[in-house]
Structure 1
């Protein structure tokens, strides 16, 4: 029977049985999606020197046409719609401007679309300059505007790939002074995604401690060392974040400090778990409290650490919390089978079988439903539309399937992919609200075409990733069902006395004393009566007595 210790202020594989190991490295990498760059308000114009190039003017550029001069004046006055029409005339060859002035106009079209709020269209124009490379006079200056776009576009827009096309030496130019630290961070993210970990670390470590991007870069530095299987420098990076959280310097936002402090604690817990330092792992898991979006995840992963320490009263208590009705939209199927393994070790065979049956009852029917979902809509864009219906609760699914699928479609990485579709959809709606006269222009037609094509591609990509998430969930449940069958066979064999010497050695002896449940002055304890209270969550303990033979007995 679980016991609840109520606090005034709630704080927030193994053996021969099929091991249901949590892949902590994978979990660490998934956490990266939690660090998406926040969407900020559009930056105001006035990027000093943003028209500068990295090459000296050779003096051969002809004076700008009257059209280009008029366009620049309209831009400076903030009449971006009119400016876009005039700039486009220059780009489209309708004036006598030379190639250098056409490049200038092309650069201004990107800037103008940015100011109009058509960020995706602006990215497409700047991408032309990126693709032209050093041959374009405004290639260097464009990098600064890509940094600005990175603040308003999700990384699934391809913004990091554009930034990553630049040589690192471009950041040494004086024009980059105001965005240099930000670009070190963004370039580091790009090289991390490309698997060039040494280059990524080199860039992350160049971000100034006075920059608001330092704490983000430090986190990714730690994560990159994890990918390199270098635990000590990873821990050093995460510890520096914890030190910042204590000092709370003014250059970092309170939200960033709180977010990265929680992530650092979680990653340190995982590193210590992976190195079998379970006491330290538990210490850092327990630093996350109920307010953290990763609190339930930390409870589940800590359950494995407690299990490895044979503190199973706490492991079972955590599992009890995970399956509380407050968290019906969260799913930890592996926790049920971990409960079965624990009961097996205590020779509580009936309870072990009950746990396996609980898993089969809860997740068996859901596997069939997942297959039915995956069989719908071969076209990825159509599947995206179906996924959106699921998230909106309008797909006609039963409540359990609805909650389960929504939980994986709510994945942070997938949310960023959906955010790109939403951005394109928003810009298309803004286009429909724009002045009718402007919508009849050539530049408007090009913007509409670009947004329409990009949205179509983004929807297909979002549908593909949605399908992959559900396929992965189905595969995981299938593997866990297979593990459940193996556990059931082992339990039945053990109950019949058919148990290997190795498995016998992992059992908890019948003369082992039950784990003590200690209560300090700030807590009190009572038996769980079937009713959950929020201030009890995370504090449940199970008093468990082994039924295995005593030492020396067969």
Structure 2
């Protein structure tokens, strides 16, 4: 009801002093109030383009954006609101334009352009005006500008903005999660002197995100990310059991489950749970993840075997890594140009290129910000088609709006291309790095085998004397099933290895070296 009252006040006709410039505006306003947005929008457009009263033009620009939004043309409305915000505080509808822009961000879930526009506009000049905005609008601005600050490593600024988001905001849990990421970042000012205090604050922020009460659609992904954030922070602190416990809470088959499996493999390895580490990797290497790009997981698997002195398994694992990722490195060479065309780079993820390894394509495409660019581009193209075929086709409004959409499309392609190129370089660097690590493990394995041979250690006899036992059961509600090479969907994620150790027992002489 309060929103309706505000709307009725906003839509009151202009004062009589401006009537001479407002004939078209008032006709547009009447049509808007009647819900006839097809009629209202072109009239508002004409009023906004007229050379009359500045107040009339400013209000017409705002209600044109409102009309576009009412017609479901959210990208077009976002462009109109952005023009008002970019005009600055002198615009007659400035604060309402800011509010409309934030509303479009929420409806579009646009994470690239709108946060940047708000960040650019968020200056000392307007801060006192913005505090008069509705509480939830200001909360979202603080969160969105905080995301930009975090990306640009302005950590103190990000902290201030994210801490300003109140508990009753719908983005509170998101803000707490991102605050945890900011505080846990090793580059945050004050480390290492205040590291322990910052870590505790980060842990608290992640836990608040986990206990959020926002709508489940928005909250669920944030909570999964908060669990991974907790796991990473515990891991960095050397608290490997706690890290593993956090990773294991990420639900099976959530969007982030494969990442949680991978990182849990490292946590278990560092906690000297070699069987648990291999169990996590067994799930990650199941056929259901055949399209995953996880080269480091094979290096971890080889490392676990190496520390268990199971050298045949080390060599088998590295051979699998070479077979899977060796060809990918060669396939990526034509796509890894340092200064390639950004639109071409984006096209690699917009539609699958047969020359690009599918796991790399899927990995690039799964980037959250790239996905958002693709989603907004799809919406933008739909709006262009509707404007060219709808009731405004051929009108100056349709022509100018389509031109503006084309400009934004070009900007989005540049943003998407920059993200795609960065992701491609990361894939190339990963393959080069882990190929080098594989070679180091391969050489060290050969040297250790030579040392055992020279020491007269019969490793095969050593392994034969050992017995393999069932892993410890987590509780009475669990069942044990021996893995026989079949991956059942209800078993993936619950694997646990038991390992023999091929390392000879240390003597007092070897322990002193």
CA distance in 2, matches of 1:263, 1:342: 27
Match of 2:311 among 349, 364, 370: 349
Alignment pair present for 1:469 and 2:423: yes
CA distance in 1, matches of 2:128, 2:8: 18
Contact 2:173 2:210 survives alignment (8 Å): no
CA distance in 2, matches of 1:194, 1:60: 48
CA distance in 1, matches of 2:93, 2:207: 41
Contact 1:285 1:302 survives alignment (8 Å): yes
Deviations 1:161-181 (A, max 9, x none): 2223133333332x5256343
Deviations 1:161-210 (A, max 9, x none): 2223133333332x525634333433433443444433433333333323
Pairwise CA RMSD of aligned residues? 3.1
Structure 2 counterpart of 1:78: 35
Match of 2:143 among 157, 160, 185: 185
CA distance in 2, matches of 1:330, 1:104: 51
CA distance in 1, matches of 2:21, 2:408: 33
Match of 2:496 among 538, 541, 551: 541
Q: Give the superposition deviation at 1:397.
A: 4.7
Q: TM-score, normalised by structure 1?
A: 0.79
Equivalent residue of 1:306, what SS? helix
Give the gaps of 5 or more residues in structure 2: 189-194, 454-461
Higher helix proportion? 2
In structure 2, the CA distance between the partners of 1:295 and 1:383, relative to structure 1 (3 Å rule), is: closer
In structure 2, the CA distance between the partners of 1:379 and 1:239, relative to structure 1 (3 Å rule), is: closer
CA distance in 1, matches of 2:206, 2:345: 39
Q: TM-score, normalised by structure 2?
A: 0.85
Structure 1 counterpart of 2:191: none
Q: Give the superposition deviation at 1:280.
A: 0.9
Match of 2:130 among 156, 163, 171: 171
Equivalent residue of 1:496, what SS? helix
Give the gaps of 5 or more residues in structure 1: 1-43, 500-508
Structure 1 counterpart of 2:176: 218
In structure 2, the CA distance between the partners of 1:406 and 1:171, relative to structure 1 (3 Å rule), is: same
Alignment pair present for 1:480 and 2:442: no
Deviations 1:240-285 (A, max 9, x none): 23344xxxx5xx2133343333222221111100000111111111
Equivalent residue of 1:155, what SS? coil
Match of 1:197 among 148, 155, 164: 155
CA distance in 2, matches of 1:486, 1:428: 55
Match of 1:331 among 285, 293, 302: 293
Structure 1 counterpart of 2:200: 232
Structure 2 counterpart of 1:242: 210
Q: Give the superposition deviation at 1:66.
A: 1.3
Structure 2 counterpart of 1:448: 402
Q: Give the superposition deviation at 1:363.
A: 0.7
Contact 1:171 1:183 survives alignment (8 Å): no
Alignment pair present for 1:88 and 2:45: yes
Contact 1:62 1:98 survives alignment (8 Å): no
Equivalent residue of 2:43, what SS? helix
CA distance in 2, matches of 1:169, 1:293: 40
What does 1:49-60 correspond to in 2, within 5 Å? Answer: 51=10
CA distance in 1, matches of 2:275, 2:211: 33
Greater CA deviation, 132-141 or 194-203? 194-203
Equivalenced residues, count: 481
Deviations 1:447-505 (A, max 9, x none): 11111222233224323432332232122111111111111111111111199xxxxxx
Structure 2 counterpart of 1:402: 358
In structure 2, the CA distance between the partners of 1:183 and 1:47, relative to structure 1 (3 Å rule), is: farther
Q: Give the superposition deviation at 1:139.
A: 1.2
Contact 2:82 2:101 survives alignment (8 Å): no
Equivalent residue of 2:496, what SS? strand
Say which structure, 1 or 2, has more relative contact order (CA 8 Å, 6+ apart).
Answer: 1
Equivalent residue of 1:329, what SS? coil
CA distance in 2, matches of 1:261, 1:65: 51
Q: Give the superposition deviation at 1:87.
A: 2.0
Structure 1 counterpart of 2:456: none
Alignment pair present for 1:496 and 2:450: yes
Alignment pair present for 1:318 and 2:280: yes
Q: Give the superposition deviation at 1:130.
A: 1.8
Structure 2 counterpart of 1:304: 266
Deviations 1:219-257 (A, max 9, x none): 22222222336211111111223344xxxx5xx213334
Q: Give the superposition deviation at 1:58.
A: 12
